[in-house]
Chain A
Amino acid sequence: MLKKRIIPCLDVDNGRVVKGVNFIDLVDAGDPVEQAIIYNAEGADELCFLDITASSDNRDTLLEVVKKTAENCFIPLTVGGGVRNLDDISRLLHFGADKVSINTAAVDNIDLVAEAANKYGSSTIVIAVDAKETAENQWKVFTHGGRKETNIDVVTYCNEVAKLGAGEILLTSMDRDGTKSGFDNKLLKAVTSKVNVPVIASGGVGNLSHLLDGILEGEASALLAASIFHFGEYSIGEVKRYLADNNIPVRI
């Protein structure tokens, strides 16, 4: 049986792991390569780096982090943040990323999704969607790290990128991100019930039952979490044992 994946996410700023609340107030959480090696050893199913560095000067720092991680961790590595075009994707893959996540650039130019999927394969292209509830049971896509609102409906958009060749969708609830109040399972269900590619739930995990809810209520294929792992609240092993005890198929 296909397992539900647990993906620790490392938000990387200028070569360090950071974690914010609702996308701001960043707190330093350590060296990304060291963290990645620990998660790999603990049994993480994949790793995710999101580059939140604003300045392009620091992009090379991320490439070094990706390269060193790829040399040490033999599980899939997704890298995103500031990916604008096919050259950016090529560069990340060349340095060792297995998948590349595209956010704002896909909203600005939807053709990029098809171009990227055709060139690198659907399995390589993750579309990251930052979603915010703007009316009851209605979510809009936000871009530029959550700073810019668009008029695009999240479910419609996810369907469209899936049809264009996105291999999976990384769906972040901006309302929940960093709040530790649980995933937005209504948002997740709205997307997973309509879209035929795997959806990674992101934003809001504070405890173990939140993870279980993301699978049972949100029907996510994979769960992404940051702070509960970085600050040692739970280990990957604890999360997996908890899910296994609740009859969720996980890789142990």
Chain B
Amino acid sequence: MNLAIINFGSGNLHSVHKAFESVSSDLSNPYNIIVTNDPKEIQSADKIVLPGVGAFGDCKNAILNIEGLHASLEVSVIKNKVPFMGICVGMQLLADLSYEFGTHSGFGWIPGEVRRITSPKEYKIPHMGWNEIAFSDHKLFDNCEQGSDFYFVHSFYFQNQKNEHSIATTKYPDQITAAVCKENICGTQFHPEKSHINGKKIIHNFLEWKP
């Protein structure tokens, strides 16, 4: 089984790679994990992870500038229903559009918009650090405890158009989407690769997920 971590120049690629490798190595059938932007390799992957750190528009453009990358993701994820996980901006990219530094269109895979967090002055932006989540019944949260802490760092959030696509939330101080899912496509606003044991559980569950 191959797992492709999409390389479009996002800064935290190494962290994501190492965390997935560490969790996968404990499985009875470890994945062959490749970090790639090659459309052929992406289309032959059994699972796909899209990390993302930075501004929405920059990440989107970086993806569009790699020839065949966006098209190969569409084929794998939309047509072939390959299980997909987006992390942070990689999750926000699933939305229809984002208002970060202008208006940018996203992949449009999960209906919704990406908006700036509005919070009272005493709540610093970015929302940075460990915050607890409340999640609904979903494979991604197997063996996790309600209210456990995950590492967040973001100034924008994914406002889902349909409640059913939000599978976890956090509070800062208003409710913010912490994880989304629609069929074979999931995403987390927090960083599982930086969320210590809790994060490893999410990665493990994604590796075992058969949507």
Across the interface, do B171 and A1 meet the contact criterion of CB distance under 8 Å? yes
5 A-B Cβ contacts within 8 A?
A: A3-B149, A93-B12, A121-B11, A124-B12, A198-B126
Complex Cα spacing A231 to B14, Å: 31
Contacts between the two chains (Cβ within 8 Å), count: 99
Interface 9-mer from A94-102, A132-140, A171-179: A94-102
Complex Cα spacing A89 to B155, Å: 21
Across the interface, do A76 and B126 meet the contact criterion of CB distance under 8 Å? no
Interface 9-mer from A26-34, A52-60, A67-75, A149-157: A67-75
Complex Cα spacing A119 to B11, Å: 9
Across the interface, do A197 and B126 meet the contact criterion of CB distance under 8 Å? yes
Complex Cα spacing A221 to B131, Å: 13
Q: Which of B14, B128, B151, B171 contacts A167 (CB 8 A)?
A: B128
Q: Is A130 engaged at the interface, CB distance under 8 Å to the other chain? A: no
Interface size class of B (residues with CB under 8 A): 35 or more
Complex Cα spacing A167 to B100, Å: 15
Q: Is A227 engaged at the interface, CB distance under 8 Å to the other chain? A: no
Q: Which of B53, B127, B151, B193 contacts A121 (CB 8 A)?
A: B53
A interface SS class: loop
B interface SS class: mixed
Complex Cα spacing A37 to B127, Å: 26
- For chain B, residues 158 to 203, give those with C-beta under 8 angstroms from any C-beta of chain A: 171-172, 191, 193-196, 199-200
Given that A3-B149, A118-B55, A121-B54 are known contacts, is A221 also in contact with B129, CB under 8 Å in the complex? Answer: yes
Which B residues touch A221, using CB under 8 A?
124, 128-129
Q: Is B18 engaged at the interface, CB distance under 8 Å to the other chain? A: yes
Across the interface, do A74 and B200 meet the contact criterion of CB distance under 8 Å? yes
* B36 to A: closest C-beta gap in Å: 16
Contact with B along A115-135 (1 / 0, CB 8 A): 000111111100000000000
Which A residues touch B54, using CB under 8 A?
119-121, 124
Q: Is A184 engaged at the interface, CB distance under 8 Å to the other chain? A: no
Across the interface, do B126 and A123 meet the contact criterion of CB distance under 8 Å? yes
Across the interface, do A74 and B194 meet the contact criterion of CB distance under 8 Å? yes
Q: Which of B121, B127, B196 contacts A74 (CB 8 A)?
A: B196
